[in-house]
């Protein structure tokens, strides 16, 4: 499959030229209305000059020789051919996120296509990343690619085989697996939950506060028989009538959350089509095996507690492959649910994953 980047660069230049024309026209009109001044000429000239330099740089980049072809023979570049026998590994690496210093917002750059050739096969390429002491070389910035990441990932899945890196520390084949025909079989793992007792306690607290506050208010209004009841209540307890509405509202809010947790406890289901997961009180999500490259039970590298989690690395180019909860070796990992919260721990879940994942559990 052939990949190119000239089309996207030309479109970028076209957008830049359109912005320069609109902005230059607006500045020229402002200069015409306000009269020719030295400051106005500088304000008109500097943005146009900067945009022109940028456009020329983009045109030069688009005009440089580039070729990337991935097929059964290997990877063909504009100046060399790398047979698969000379490639130890290849993968998509996501650079570090960029944080805006003013707003704090994070943006995630497009990935880089990195190749780890054997011996000296990568001489002359741009070195990008080492892996176990083996230098990796940048073949393509996916932001400049005309085709999409799913097409690139599909070509690597088809031709690179076990060389396609999709999870940290794991070089193994990505095996697309269609949904099996016939009835679906699932193993379900449901975490124990005390939300029902918490829900009952919150409802009783809200009802008690509501009844107490209502009785005191009706007694103050001389509504029979509440005045006689109010006189028997000690004065310090009477002062509690003021916070009771707030306590009742807080208890109702807690009851709503406990009801949601009771109806949606933590659950993991593993079966022939894929796996589903649901965190406590959250909606359920389903992942097909064709979207998953590697699934593991282990600690999250971004948390210090070392508790086991159900973690997946998605196939690059799928809906899950461009973001996640943490990065490891330039790849996005997604932590689904804490496995320690399951009633029997992670061991039964590991057996089900080993049985149904088709070699993805490592």
List pLDDT tens digits, range 265-315. 888 888 888 888 888 888 888 888 877 888 888 888 778 888 888 888 877
pLDDT given at position 64: 61
pLDDT given at position 200: 92
Residue 264 near residue 285 (C-beta atoms within 8 A): no
Tokens of 54: 């940028």
For residue 179, pLDDT over 50 is answered with: no
- Write the pLDDT tens digit of every residue in 55-100: 666 666 655 666 788 888 888 887 778 888 888 888 888 777 766 6
Average pLDDT over residues 346-357: 85
Residue 6 binned pLDDT confidence (cut-offs 50, 70, 90): low
Taking the C-alpha atoms of residue 151 and residue 348, their distance in angstroms, rounded to an integer, is: 37
Residue 171 near residue 162 (C-beta atoms within 8 A): yes
pLDDT given at position 204: 92
Measured from the Cβ of residue 278, the count of other Cβ atoms closer than 10 Å reads 20
Residue 324 binned pLDDT confidence (cut-offs 50, 70, 90): confident
pLDDT given at position 273: 84
Residue 37 binned pLDDT confidence (cut-offs 50, 70, 90): low
Taking the C-alpha atoms of residue 235 and residue 240, their distance in angstroms, rounded to an integer, is: 9
Nearest-5° Cα angle at 85, 80 to 89: 90
Q: Where are the domains of the chain?
A: 2-63, 68-171, 195-263, 265-356
For residue 248, pLDDT over 70 is answered with: yes
% residues pLDDT > 70 (the chain): 65
Tokens of 254: 């807690």
Taking the C-alpha atoms of residue 304 and residue 312, their distance in angstroms, rounded to an integer, is: 19
**pTM here?**
0.58
282, HSE (Cβ side, Cα atoms, 13 Å):
13
For residue 209, pLDDT over 70 is answered with: yes
Q: Which residue shows structure tokens 């079966």?
A: 271
**Would you give the DSSP letter of residue 28?**
H
Q: Which residue shows structure tokens 């994070």?
A: 106
Query: Which range among 5-9, 65-69, 196-200 has the greatest average pLDDT?
Result: 196-200
Tokens of 257: 């959350």
Residue 145 near residue 152 (C-beta atoms within 8 A): yes
Q: Which residue shows structure tokens 């210093």?
A: 101
Tokens of 44: 């008109």
pLDDT given at position 173: 47
- Residue 55 in 3-state DSSP? helix
Enumerate the H helices of 191-345 as residue ranges.
Answer: 195-220, 226-231, 235-238, 244-263
């Amino acid at each position: 499959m052939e990949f190119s980047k000239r089309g996207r660069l030309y479109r970028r230049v076209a957008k830049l030229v359109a912005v320069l024309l609109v902005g230059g026209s607006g500045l020229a009109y402002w200069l015409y209305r306000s009269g020719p001044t030295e400051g106005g000429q500088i304000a008109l000239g500097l943005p146009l000059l900067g945009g022109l330099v940028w456009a020329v740089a983009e045109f030069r980049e688009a005009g440089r020789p580039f070729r990337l072809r991935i097929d059964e023979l290997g990877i063909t570049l504009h100046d060399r051919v790398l047979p698969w026998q000379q490639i130890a590994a290849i993968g998509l690496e996501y650079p570090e996120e960029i944080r805006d210093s003013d707003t704090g917002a994070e943006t995630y750059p497009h990935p880089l296509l990195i190749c780890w050739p054997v011996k000296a096969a990568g001489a002359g390429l741009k070195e990008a990343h080492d892996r176990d002491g083996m230098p990796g070389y940048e073949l393509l910035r996916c932001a400049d690619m005309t085709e999409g990441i799913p097409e690139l990932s599909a070509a690597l899945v088809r031709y690179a085989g076990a060389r396609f890196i999709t999870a940290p520390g794991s070089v193994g084949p990505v095996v697309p697996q269609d949904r099996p025909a016939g009835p679906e079989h699932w193993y379900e793992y449901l975490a124990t939950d005390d939300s029902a007792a918490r829900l009952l306690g919150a409802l009783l607290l809200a009802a008690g506060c509501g009844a107490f506050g209502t009785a005191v208010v009706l007694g103050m209004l001389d509504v029979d028989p509440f005045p006689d009841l109010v006189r028997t209540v000690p004065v310090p307890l009477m002062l509690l009538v003021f916070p009771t509405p707030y306590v009742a509202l807080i208890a109702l809010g807690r009851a709503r959350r406990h009801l949601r947790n009771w109806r949606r406890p933590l659950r993991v289901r593993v079966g022939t089509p894929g796996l589903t997961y649901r965190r406590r009180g959250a909606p359920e999500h389903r992942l097909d095996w064709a979207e998953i490259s590697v699934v593991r039970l282990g600690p999250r590298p971004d948390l210090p507690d070392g508790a086991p989690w159900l973690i997946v690395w998605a196939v690059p180019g799928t809906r899950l492959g461009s973001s996640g909860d943490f990065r490891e070796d330039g790849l996005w990992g997604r932590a689904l649910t804490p496995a320690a919260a399951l009633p029997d721990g992670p061991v039964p879940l590991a057996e089900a994953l080993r049985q149904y994942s088709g070699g993805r559990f490592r």
